[in-house]
Amino acid sequence: MSNQTSLRVADLPQNAPTPFDLRPDAKALEAIKDDLGLLGLRKLSFVGDVRAQGKRDWALNGKLGATVIQPCVVTLEPVTTRIDIPVARIFVADWVDPTEAEFEIPEGDDTEQLGAEIDPTLVMVEALSLALPQYPRKDGAELGQADFTEPGKQAMTDEDVKPFAGLAGLRDTLKKDE
């Protein structure tokens, strides 16, 4: 999937932007949907360009759009979310490994090491995965209080399960006695 959209850095013009317009077909959408664990993925597009930044670095700027369907974290019912976000990456030739102790991470985490190719498809999938709602929730879905007990007995409440609530009172009583 990715090698069709890879741009060889050596072939990119230094003085003009190289545009891209990605609109994955049904087969590619299905693969991305499965990779990201989605129930559905529609209207995925990534449009932008790659341009030189300085003498050796490159900047990718684009707009990502997608409609994703995920299971609700409460009810597991499908939740549809529209994502429209700007995406920016800087590909740096003189890469410094961020694990070195003295290295300070600049604001934003959009900097990557420049390789032989820049692949807008990989950037698109990564940006989409980062933009997904972490806890999709159907409107009005809330976690209620579940009461479990044997028939005929009083169910324990959340208040009953606070084991240290009584200890605080005991501690205060013991301190008075000292």
Report the 3 state secondary structure along the chain.
CCCCCCEEHHHCCCCCCEEEEECCCHHHHHHHHHHHCCCEEEEEEEEEEEEEECCCEEEEEEEEEEEEEEECCCCCCEEEEEEEEEEEEEEECCCCCCCCCCCCCCCCCCEEECCCEECHHHHHHHHHHHHCCCCCCCCCCCCCCCCCCCCCCCCCCCHHHCCCHHHHHHHHHHHHHC
pLDDT of residue 163: 60
Query: What pTM, to 2 d.p., does this model score?
Result: 0.71
Tell me the pLDDT tens digit for each residue of 51-81. Answer: 999 889 999 999 999 999 999 988 999 999 9
Helices 26-36 & 120-131 angle (0-180, nearest 10) = 50
pLDDT of residue 70: 96
Q: Mean per-residue pLDDT for 2-11?
A: 78
In the predicted model, is pLDDT for residue 47 greater than 60? Answer: yes
In the predicted model, is pLDDT for residue 104 greater than 60? Answer: no
pLDDT of residue 111: 85
Domain residue spans in the chain?
A: 7-131
Tell me the pLDDT tens digit for each residue of 24-34. Answer: 999 999 999 99
The b-or-e profile of 89-101 (16+ CB within 10 A means b, else e) is bbbbeeeeeeeee
pLDDT of residue 158: 58
| Percent over 70 (pLDDT), the chain | 74
